[in-house]
Amino acid sequence: MSFALDFDKIAAAYAYQQRLIASGNFNANAFPLITFPNRPHWENCIMVTQIGLIILNNLLFISLICFTRRLRKVTFAVAASLSVGDLLVGCITIPTAYSAENQLILYDNYRICLANYIGIIALPTVPIVHLVIIGAEKFITIQYPLRYNQIVNKRFAIISCTLAWLLPLMYGIVPTVIWIVQNEPRYPWFDYCTPLVIYPDGFMFSSTIVILVPSVAAISGLYIRILVIARKQSNKVFAEQSAQVSASQRKRVIRGMATIIVLLVYFIISWIPLAVLLLVPGLSVSKEYWSVAKLLAFSNSWLDPVMYTIGSKEIRNAVLRKFGKQKVDADFSTTG
């Protein structure tokens, strides 16, 4: 796989573009290499709404964790770190990518344009790595319940959160900085900042292989294993204590397993379309499909706090206490 920037191809395309402009026959929407997006209004509306939901939901979730004494635990510290990553996706990644794609900001320097994409590559992978850690924590909860407090402690939270931020940031920053230092295009800069022409061939493919595919596989494997263990344990309990197990206990176990299934299905559905497009760069699809795939992937950033609030009884009770609708003496969480 070649990782050399094909500046000759870009230079030829730029020269062809300049000839078309000089002759008065330039059509930006029909240009063969450097295409200028014509984003439909429905996508603009959904994107703005999505950014608003990301900022609102994650700010509320972070505030709830920080200002609720009962939620100051290792489990929720990782969830709060995940929420910070999601918040930065809404505040930095999506607006920056939108500005670059639509030429809202003119980049008069190739290196500035390349640096612009550090956050676009690094930040979306931060929540993905956090989801792997949360899946591992849930697996420890159900597989090693007696050793949970020994394994999942403050040291676990510090190390896991540090790795969840350090690995994606290094992956986004180091290659980009190397390209900024080593490469400079041999043609006049044309102000259009897009990964189509500034990144080496195969980079998006390799980033999908290195980050997205292993993360999806790890999360899927962990949640499927959790589901199998939970089913075996519940069947064992029901078989041994069928006379004593109440209907409410059965419903609680079933509700916990249903939450795990929903989390797994929602994660796979949201990321698989974009992963397929990145893994098969020559795949011919419409702009609408690309738009839907990106919107689905970014929907994780505003759905994460909602899903984990619904899936955790402790967080739900904290929300109810904030609104004064319920007093809870003892919290018990079935899913997190």
Distance of CA 42 to the CA centre of its chain: 22
The per-residue pLDDT string of the chain (336 residues; one tens digit each, 9 = 90 and over) reads 333 444 455 555 555 555 655 666 555 444 444 444 556 677 778 888 999 999 999 999 999 998 888 888 888 899 999 999 999 999 988 887 777 666 655 556 667 777 777 777 788 888 888 888 988 888 888 888 888 888 988 899 999 999 999 988 888 788 777 776 666 655 555 555 665 556 665 666 666 677 777 887 888 888 888 888 877 777 776 666 554 555 555 566 566 667 667 777 787 788 788 777 777 766 677 777 777 888 888 888 898 888 888 878 888 888 888 776 555 444 444 444
Over residues 274-329, the pLDDT tens digits come to: 777 777 766 677 777 777 888 888 888 898 888 888 878 888 888 888 776 555 44
Q: Tokens 């007696």 label which residue?
A: 146
Q: For the chain, list the domains and their CATH numbers.
A: 7-14+40-322 (1.20.1070.10)
Within 8 A by CB and 6+ apart from 131, the residues are 82, 215, 219, 267, 304
CA distance 87 to 56: 9
Within 8 A by CB and 6+ apart from 175, the residues are 203
Continuous segment of H or E residues that includes residue 307: helix 300-311
Structure tokens at 35: 């295409």
| pTM of the predicted structure, to 2 decimals | 0.75
